[in-house]
Structure 1
Amino acid sequence: MVSQGNPQRVAKFGRRRALATEKESSSSGRNRSLTVCIVGLNYAPEPTGIAPYTAGLAHGLIERGHRVRVVSGYPHYPEWRVRPGYRGLRRTDDCDGVPVSRRRHFVPRRSTAIGRAVLELSFGMQAVLSRWGKPDVVVCVSPGLISTGMVVARAALMPGRSPAVGIWVQDLYSSGVVETSAVGSVGARFVLALESKILRSADGVSVIHDRFKQVLVESLRIRDDSINVTRNWTHVGSAELEKSSCRMLFGWRDDEFIALHAGNMGAKQGLENVVSAARLAVERGLRVRFVLMGDGNQRAHLESLADDLTSVEFLRPVDDDKYLAALRGADVLLVNERPGVKEMALPSKLTSYFKSGNPVVAATELSGITAQELRTAGAGEIVTAGQPELLLDAVIDLASNPAKALSYGRSGKLFVDQKLSKDIAVNELEDWISGLSGIQSPRVARHARISGMQKVVEL
């Protein structure tokens, strides 16, 4: 799984794999657990976005017998401000058995390309100056891209046996800057070249969808055989909650139809479209309440737009139990993306939406990754991004057709159960990380021993 990149690093990686192969040939080397350092800007207790997956991977690796250390930032997402209680420049937390070294970094007040770059640069400087221990593998979570590049550089310069480096890609930067018009054409070409260089400098890359892999191969010139594809999973519980009780918890009446958008309220989401749909509902005299639950740098702007609308409700982020109750209590769940957003990210909320058993309406680019995921799951309706009347019509169609809504909800739940299992995902990521180091994981070694014993018995 050697990617294209710096010849010295490739040679070093080749020597490391040869050494690891020698270790695997001995009984003591085959079963050795890994020491893994995960470096990512976002981590628990952030409730949404990338943080739940990074925390889930860390816990999963520990449960499988590996030693894990996390280097992360101070919790700040989706509020885009450091949470109360997190003071000082650095601290070490024990997060459910995972040692997390937190480093303070810059958090921009407004969402701009420069602000994001400074955020990642400040975190990257803290990350490379932190103690990593002596990891076999360093896993970088991207975004952030700039901090990931700095971590890859430090790993390559470590004295002695440098660790393998894998990059776990959750969002595509080069697609994002184009689709959100964050920078001009010159800036977009620079980001494309930077992302390509950083990903090719790692020992391996893992992405969360086949569409991401396609972009990496065709646009970023990453070798096909150096890319692993492992889907994200749902991180909410599976308890069957009574819908009426969930609605009472939020004060939602039985005679109104609840359309809920949960998660980040940023530029990418383009939630002005939802506010416009809510305004149309009032004009038509429809009993639809649009609920926006979460936070983000566009929340204040959206609250201002909807100030005169009783059909729009804003809720703050909630814990996992209450989050699942909100999803169950709603009638339809919304995904909204600004026009032009196609490949940059697969909304993490979809895994939780599908698990809830409720139908989804997605206002997005019809040929984009979000639309493809919804079609694959068979979990809801897709309408063109930036067209509030189409969004409202899709919501009303499900309100008037409960059989269709129920069918979509069941299909989404089945898709999660069959395709988005956390155990399957963490097993695949463990195998990917073990492959980077050249050391067989304890789980695979146990499976091989059991298979070998079965063959002996058969003989």
Structure 2
Amino acid sequence: MPHHDEAPDRCRVGYVTQWFPPEPAPIPLGIAHALDRQGFTVDVLTGMPNYPDGRLRAGYPAWRRTADREQGVPVLRTPLYPSHDRSAPGRAANYLSYAASSSLLGGPVLRHADVTLVYSGPATAACAAMTARLRWGTPYVAMVMDLWPDSVFASGFLTGGLTRRLAERTLGWFTNQTYRWAEHVTVASPGQREAVVARGVPADRISLVYHWADEKLLHPTEPDAELRRGLGLTDEFVVMYGGNHGAAQGLHTAIEAMARLADLPDVHLVLVGDGIEKRSLQAMAAELGLRTVHFVPAQPPERMAGVAAAADIQLVCLADEPLFRITMPSKVPSILACGQPMVVSAAGDAARVARSAGAGFTCAPGDPTALAATIRQAHSTSRHRLREMGRTGHAYYHDQMSEQAGSRLLADVLTAAAERRGRRRHNPKQVQR
């Protein structure tokens, strides 16, 4: 499915990602648009839309390949088994069916590509790129968003036993191969870089490319007055969490922290979003009698910047898991892009960025007493100083994590990979990795 109307000298990228709009997948879409602005021709190879509820979207065929355009981007969709629940067999079938169909049916995208970019979440998405490397010699760049198999088990799948050990060994071996076969690997945090080096990839083949925010939607703006009004709040000190309410976020720590702040009745926690843990969080807050904890449904993306601006400070919360020390949650660049200060209840890279940016306060994860003390510190800080932290964080985002910074780095990596392929074509005796 080549673009016949594109300039012939544009480098063609076959972009493999299991998730893409109309699914709520702003990061993969943002990467596609950013590469187009950097002068690449981008063709997307993805699956049939079924995320996040595991049900195939109406109007999409279950078991045949289709081609369309999504927000100006050419898209080839291949079949998969729709599933996105807590069932390990169902999730495995979802990942493996897309890996197989994209490898078998992705030729119209990958055969014509100068280089393939793999949005490596899940790691099985790399199967199509590995197949193209074998069939047509197409090099690929692996964009590591989540480290496998670590992230699989941190999400609560296969928590123990023989099955866990076998899956860990198999997935670990496969994931390491996807990294080693890649012409280059990009990682989303410094800790991920160290982990990928430990898995056998030379350091000079790894680049740090932070995932940037959707800057059309997430930027400094005026507060959404309707949020406070709807909650009956005026001048209270609002700590806000916006995003997924899942096990990985460890939001029970935040609820427990609020129970330790009963002597500060003007401190309110507002949780915006949804997720599998939301009901248990609501039950916990009710059981503790916390009238200062509020639950707000997920908001349209175009409203989130204003909603965030209605709070005094944003909360980043992660469970106390080793994997999350090298994880950069997408809400960190999103908060920085909005020019908001933050409280980070996490260790490792997320906390390090908050400190480096001068954008807020940090404390150990999974410790409600420490989080309560940190919120007290933020509460005692003047609002002028908090706004200054937000501005400092926004400047850091622009320099280190913005689309401009990240897309240039990614463009350089893709161009170099395509140029090395060109040199190998002219020198067939050169041995590939």
| TM tier relative to shorter chain | 0.7 to 0.9
TM-score (norm 2): 0.82
Tell me the residue number matched to 1:16. Answer: none
Q: Which amino acid aligns with 2:329?
A: P
Partner SS, residue 126 of structure 1: helix
Give the Cα–Cα distance (whole angstroms) in 1 for the partners of residues 421 and 408 of structure 2. Answer: 12
Write the deviation string for residues 294-351 of structure 1: whole angstroms up to 9, x where unpaired. Answer: 2333334333433554333333333332011111111111111111243452101111
After superposition, give the CA deviation of every residue in 1:236-259 in whole Å (9 maximum; x if it has no partner).
346542236364575462232221
Residue 233 of structure 2 corresponds to 253
- The structure 1 residue matched to 2:375, chosen from 380, 387, 395, is 395
Could you tell me how far apart the structure 1 residues matched to 2:93 and 2:8 are?
Answer: 42
Q: 2:299 aligns with which of 315, 318, 330?
A: 318
Within-5 A mapping of 1:31-430? 32-47=9-24, 51-77=25-51, 79-82=52-55, 85=58, 87-89=60-62, 91-108=66-83, 110-111=85-86, 113-131=88-106, 132-133=108-109, 134-148=112-126, 150-158=127-135, 161-177=136-152, 182=157, 183-184=159-160, 186=165, 187-218=167-198, 220-236=199-215, 237=217, 240-243=220-223, 245=225, 247-248=227-228, 251=231, 253-281=233-261, 283-284=262-263, 286-307=265-286, 309-341=290-322, 342-365=324-347, 368-402=348-382, 403-430=384-411
Hey, what's the Cα distance between the residues in 1 that align with 2:23 and 2:115? 25
Runs of 4+ in 1 over 6 A off after TM superposition: none
Flag the 1:267–1:91 CA change in 2: closer, same or farther, 3 A.
farther
Name the amino acid aligned to 1:151.
Answer: A
Give, in angstroms, the shift of residue 87 of structure 1.
Answer: 4.1
Distance 2:405 2:311 in 1: 29
Query: Does the CA contact (< 8 Å) of 1:80 and 1:297 recur in 2?
Result: no
Amino acid at match of 2:270: V
Question: TM (normalized to structure 1)?
Answer: 0.78
| Amino-acid identity (%) | 25
Q: Distance in 2 between matches of 1:181 and 1:225?
A: 34
Note if contact 1:246-1:328 (Cα within 8 Å) is conserved in structure 2.
Answer: no
1:250 & 1:358 partners in 2: Cα distance?
21
Residue aligning to 1:25: none
Q: CA deviation at 1:42?
A: 2.1
CA distance in 2, matches of 1:197, 1:332: 42
Give, in whole Å, the separation in 2 of the partners of 1:370 and 1:231: 12
CA RMSD between the two structures: 2.9
CA distance in 2, matches of 1:408, 1:246: 25
Q: Any idea what SS the aligned residue of 2:105 has?
A: coil
Moved more, 182-191 or 319-328: 182-191
Q: Identify if the C-alpha distance between structure 1 residues 45 and 349 changes in structure 2 by more than 3 Å, giving closer, same or farther.
A: farther
Matched, 1:436 2:427: no
Q: Which has the higher contact order (CA 8 A, sep 6+)?
A: 1
Taking the aligned partners of 2:67 and 2:294, their CA distance within structure 1 comes to 37
AA of the residue aligned to 1:73: G
Distance 1:175 1:252, change over 3 A: farther
Distance 2:390 2:412 in 1: 32
- Describe the SS at the equivalent of 2:99: helix
Q: Which residues of structure 1 form unaligned runs of 5+?
A: 1-29, 442-459
**Deviation per residue, 1:33-91 (Å, 9 max, x gap):** 122111112223444xxx323212211222333321112234455x4444764543265
Letter in 1 for 2:203: D
Query: What's the counterpart of residue 14 of structure 1?
Result: none
Contact 2:50 2:56 in 1 (8 A): yes
Pair 1:146–1:38, CA change in 2 (3 A):
same
Secondary structure in 2 aligned to 1:338?
coil
String of CA shifts for 1:192-246, please: whole Å, max 9, x gaps.
322212211222211122322111112x111112212222222134654223636
Q: Distance in 2 between matches of 1:86 and 1:262?
A: 31
| CA distance in structure 2 between the partners assigned to 1:110 and 1:301 by the alignment | 17
8 Å Cα contact 2:120-2:145 kept in structure 1? yes
Deviates more, 1:238-247 or 1:348-357: 238-247
How many residues are aligned here? 401
Could you tell me which amino acid in structure 2 is paired with residue 101 of structure 1? L
Q: Structure 1 residue 284: deviation in Å?
A: 3.8
Tell me, in whole angstroms, the C-alpha distance in 1 between the residues paired with 2:81 and 2:292: 37
Give distance in 2, aligned partners of 1:379 and 1:273: 22
Gaps of 5+ in 2: 1-6, 423-433
Q: Which moved more, 1:300-309 or 1:413-422?
A: 300-309
CA drift at 1:141 = 0.9
SS in structure 1 opposite 2:14? strand
Confirm or deny: 8 A CA contact 1:246 1:325 kept in the other structure. no
Q: 2:319 & 2:218 partners in 1: Cα distance? A: 31
Question: What code does the residue aligned with 2:238 have?
Answer: I
Measured in 2, the distance between the counterparts of 1:42 and 1:153 equals 18
Once the 2 structures are TM-superposed, how far is the Cα of residue 440 of structure 1 from its aligned partner? 11
